[in-house]
Amino acid sequence: MRNAVTIASTLLLLFVVQAASNSLQAASIEAPQLAQVKPATFRYWAAGEFTRAGKPVDAPQVEVRIRRLFSIMVHQVTVGEYRRCVADNACAPLADDSAKDNLPAVMVSWRDAQSYAAWLSRKLGAHYRLPTDEEWTYAAGSRAPDESPLGVGDAISRWVARYNRESKLQPSDPTPQPIGSFGANENGLLDIAGNVWEWTDTCFTRSVIEDGKPRAVTTNCGVRIAEGRHRAYISDFIRDARGGGCAVGLPPSNLGFRLVRDSKPYWWF
Amino acid sequence: MGIVMNMSRRTALLGVAGVAGVAGMAAVASNNSSDAALAAVPTDEPGQLPALREKVNLVAPPFVHPHQQAANRPPVIKEFKLTVEEKKIVIDDDGTTMQAMTYNGSIPGPLMVVHQGDYIELTLVNPDTNTMAHNIDFHAATGALGGAEFTLVNPGEQAVLRFKATRPGVFVYHCAPGGPMIPWHVVSGMSGAVMILPRDGLKDGAGKPLRYDRIFYIGENEFYIPRDEKGKFKSYDSLGDSYADTEQAMRGLIPSHVVFNGKVGALTGKNAMTARVGETVLIVHSQANRDTRPHLIGGHGDYVWEQGKFSNAPATNLETWFVRGGSAGAALYTFRQPGIYAYVNHNLIEAALLGATAHFKVEGTWNDDLMIQVQPPGPIAKTARGS
């Protein structure tokens, strides 16, 4: 009994100490605005590439279950917010020094986003991270891009059909706009699928479909998914995808990010 | 300069008779090889300007105005009009601007198509909304600095120049107002091209006719946009304001942008060029200032007039060709596979990072014999030997 009390009070003490140090740290930086996302099940066009019997096929639509309550930033990380991380020497400087504070931070690589998430987690005593592609797609709601099959036969026709689809969606003005310029979706999130593509944590995966079920066979975590008007697969160190990446694709106009906060406390990890 | 122009104008008026004299002499020339070369240049009957005139409405690149490939009538005088437009344009997806100088509002200026033996009669208009004097130098023309001497127009002026299209090929035209203004006007966008077709159309080295179903004119330009101390591109309110910094950037000889059709990505996405499997496409490529090396990724040059002159037999089966700065080239290709092709300047840094990429979107049926994906990417197979 005594041991249990000792353990309990030690844990309580730890919790109090952590909470106190959190509030000390939090005094120096505001917590971001978050929207809560409840656990849910939804249909999702799987990411990556798929083959069946050795032939490339369209991605299947799968059921995804979001198991945990999580919160997602209402808007993309801004220039002003990102600069705090740079000032703390925890993030690499932004390419554009003179960008205004209320613009989304762009020309940011997946690695930059990781640095920022780690720094913010330390500062606020909570676990911030990039969303998975499923989480982002669910939170994006009606603004999630159309990744449905292109309804054509062979891989080459699919290539051209994808090019046509992306051509129609390409933002007419790629200049970053002040937060909120692209409006809110039904979940209260701002600027989803505007002209900034947002990094997710999800790696590029190649899967085979056997007995109707996808099974991942290769994963390349040097390439991550960036979501916006269409799904893009970008190397994790790239800050500016417009140079093309491939000779023939329609690259993201800008690369930025927003973070998710897990409901588990920071010290749980 | 005024005196020279007056003399030239007088000579031009008399010129028909003068030319007749020279031509007549060439006809009775000896075996001297240079005279033989002169005789080889086609000359119409001296003093006979074509009776027929035809006004041509120019079309913005990459498209080309309708024309016959093989001429179906005797030579004509083709009337063209170019209006100079100075304007501030956006040249990339960062919103970088440039104070541009253009013919007819486009970079490059439009392609003019005639046949050998035709006359090109150009009206060059410089509206008073512009701030600079402009002119035009046709590389296809003979004399007077390509016509530049005869066409220097101030804002509010126009001039008319006529020259005979004596040599078949694709040729650059560009603004050349004099001294340092020449490179500045050219790298600000003021160039285009003409195509002078042989009267019986294009032919291969054996004399077999070559015909195209579609023609695209791709003008490649490089820009030298000045940067501030932080490395950001600068923006200017007027042409004059931009000159000093731009001249400095030009002297470095390293462009900040290398683009097709005047802007990064101008010929991609919604503006990708299109064709069908089985169609033959002629791609005219000009670069008025700087060397380039076009390459069609996924394709080839079936017949390429690398130097751009149709009196030379085309090279065949090229992977990449060379268009020297200050010239135009032409490549003919029949698409054999559907899909997306990138047409690039094959300095890949310039293609991917500076903007020199265009796309072709080609529909049709795939040919498995030419290429087949035997095994799509997948896990590495384990061999029996266990290596």
The domain locations on chain A are: 1-30, 32-268
DSSP structure string for B291-343: -B-EEEET--EEEEETT-BTTSPPEEEESB--B-TTEEEEEEEE--S-EEEEE
The distance of B94 to chain A (nearest Cα, Å) reads 6
Task: Using CA coordinates, name the residue in chain A closest to B356.
Answer: A243
* Chain B residue with Cα closest to A247: B342
- Pinpoint the alpha helices (H) of chain B: 2-27, 33-40, 181-187, 239-251, 348-352
Does the interface predicted TM-score (ipTM) exceed 0.85?
no
Q: Specify the residue for token string 């996405």.
A: B269
Lowest mean pLDDT among A80-84, A213-217, B383-387: B383-387
Of A191, A204, A229, whose CA–CA distance to A50 is shortest?
A: A204
Tens digit of pLDDT for each residue in B24-80? 333 333 444 444 333 334 554 566 899 999 999 999 999 999 999 999 999 999 999
CATH class, domain B216-363, is mainly beta
Domain boundaries along the sequence of chain B: 1-43, 216-363
How far, in Å, CA of A75 to CA of A92, rounded? 21
Interface contact A247, partner B, CB < 8 A? yes
pLDDT tens profile A52-74: 888 888 899 999 998 888 899 99
Encoded amino acid at B53, one letter: R
- Measured between CB atoms, does A215 come within 8 Å of chain B? no
Over range B275-290, report the average pLDDT: 98
With beta carbons less than 8 A apart as the criterion, state whether B54 and B76 touch. Answer: yes
The residue behind tokens 């059909």 is A161
For residue A95, how many C-alpha atoms fall within 13 Å in the half-sphere facing its CB?
16
SS3 content of chain A, % helix, strand, coil (to 5): 30, 30, 40
- In the set B134, B257, B285, B359, the catalytic residue is B134
- Which residues in chain A are closer than 8 Å to B357, comparing Cβ atoms? 244, 247
Q: At a CB cut-off of 8 Å and minimum separation 6, what does A268 contact? A: A127
Report the Cα B92 to chain-centroid distance in Å: 21
Q: Which residue has the higher pLDDT, B48 or B270?
A: B270
Q: In angstroms, rounded to a whole number, what is the distance separating the alpha carbons of residues B240 and B254? A: 22
A250 vs B contacts (CB less than 8 Å): 268-269
Measuring CA to CA, which residue among A200, A156, A196 is closest to residue A48? A200
Q: Is B181 helix (H, G, I), strand (E, B) or coil?
A: helix
Nearest-CA distance B319 → chain A (Å): 16
pLDDT at B13: 32
- Neighboring chain B residues of A206 at a CB cutoff of 8 Å: 377-378
Residue in the structure block whose two tokens are 């900034």: A196
Confidence at residue A267, expressed as pLDDT on a 0 to 100 scale = 55
B257 part of the active site: no
Question: Residue B226, Cβ neighbours under 10 Å: how many?
Answer: 18
- Among chain A residues, CA nearest to B362: A160
List, in sequence order, every residue forming a beta bridge with B374; answer none if it has no partner: none
B228 at interface of A, judged by CB pairs closer than 8 A? no
pLDDT (0 to 100) of residue A24 = 45
* A32-268: CATH, from 3.30.460.80, 3.40.50.1370, 3.90.1580.10, 3.40.50.2300: 3.90.1580.10
Which residues on chain A are in Cβ contact (under 8 Å) with B230?
97-98
The distance of A161 to chain B (nearest Cα, Å) reads 9
Which residue from B95, B352, B378 is facing A243, i.e. has the nearest CB?
Answer: B352
pLDDT in tens, B304-342: 999 999 999 999 999 999 999 999 999 999 999 999 999
In this structure, what are the phi and psi dihedrals at residue A210, rounded to the nearest 5 degrees? -125, 130
